[in-house]
Amino acid sequence: MSAIGRAVWFIESHFGDDISLEEISDVAGLSRYHLSRVFGLVTGHSISSYIRARRLSGAALALVGSPNILEVALDAGYGSHEAFTRAFRDQFGVTPDAVRKQGHTRNLVLLEPIRMDPARLTELEPPRFEALPPMLFAGLQEIYPYGGNAAIPSLWQKFNAYDGSIPRQSGNAAYGICTHIPGEAEKFRYMAAVVVSDVSDLLDGFATLKIAGQRYAVFAHRGHVSGIPATMHQIFGTWLPGSGIEFADMPDMFERYDERFDPYTGMGLTEIWIPIKE
């Protein structure tokens, strides 16, 4: 079972309890930081939002035919009727009392347990290892919640409009750089960027990022760019825990797109560069 599979199993076995990210990461065999990042990439949910949605989905089913909303709230881990009602309405757009009275959940979007099917995962090619010198990037960046990858293509659409006009660009490759936000467990920063020689005439709205010299494990993702989460699942969920190699923290990782990738169709070869410790 992969690291994410172990995490999902533990959550499904204990989501009625007050479980911590530390407990889940211990079972998964990944650090809290890496688990948060990869869980969002693979499942489309942050860990906390998945636990919350699963608890409230179970509570919604329990409300059908239950005369006691407070009892359902307490079983779902909420200490008061008010806190439960607020969370329930935020999740489903209706109150627990409305669901209890209507006697069904057909109008609610309940979250079913995630099934990690190994047969659907891509086969991971062995990585190559490379050391890169310090690099200076310029590009557009946004902050996304873990699992919010669906919004990233719109950032690339904005960035691609600058193709060929970025001052002091070095080379033709583009980079998608993921970085951890210190003190933030729910979100990450993503930059669509190119390497530049300096930033003295930076374009309006562009941000910069300098990355120190670093050694990387480089993985190939072949096919459509939307399949990258499955490759990331294999890298972090299976390859990294069994490799004996330690992940370096900054940046989280970057995707490299060169002439082997077609940005119009989203097809081709994408390289995924994972920083590792010497």
Type of residue found at 254? F
Residue 106 tokens, joined: 């057909």
Q: For the domain that residue 143 is a member of, what is the CATH number?
A: 3.20.80.10
Go through 133-145 and write b for each residue having 16 or more CB atoms within 10 A of its CB, e for each that does not: eebbbbbbbbebe
| In-domain check, residue 180 | yes
| In-domain check, residue 117 | no
Q: What is the pLDDT of residues 139-182, one digit of tens each?
A: 999 998 776 666 788 899 999 999 889 999 999 999 999 887 87
The angle, 0 to 180 degrees and rounded to 10, between the axes of the packed helices 3-14 and 47-63 is 40
Average pLDDT, the chain: 87
Cβ-Cβ contacts under 8 Å for 204 (sequence gap 6 or more): none
| In-domain check, residue 157 | yes
Q: For the domain that residue 90 is a member of, what is the CATH number?
A: 1.10.10.60
Backbone angles phi, psi at 158, to 5 degrees: -65, -45
| In-domain check, residue 246 | yes
Q: What pLDDT does 185 receive?
A: 66
Regarding whether 133 and 93 lie in a shared domain, the answer is: no
Domain count, the chain: 2
* Band of pLDDT at residue 80, cut at 50, 70 and 90: very high
| In-domain check, residue 195 | yes
Print the domain residue range for 53: 3-102
Q: What is the pLDDT of residues 225-244, one digit of tens each?
A: 888 888 888 888 788 878 88
Go through 116-131 and write b for each residue having 16 or more CB atoms within 10 A of its CB, e for each that does not: beeeebeebeebeeee
What pTM was estimated for this model as a whole? 0.73
| In-domain check, residue 118 | no
- Residue 57 near residue 49, CB atoms below 8 Å: no
The label of the residue with tokens 């007050």 reads 18
Regarding whether 136 and 36 lie in a shared domain, the answer is: no
Go through 63-95 and write b for each residue having 16 or more CB atoms within 10 A of its CB, e for each that does not: beeeeebeebbebbbbeeeeebbebbeebbeeb
| Size of the chain in residues | 278
Q: What is the mean pLDDT of residues 35-43?
A: 78
| In-domain check, residue 158 | yes
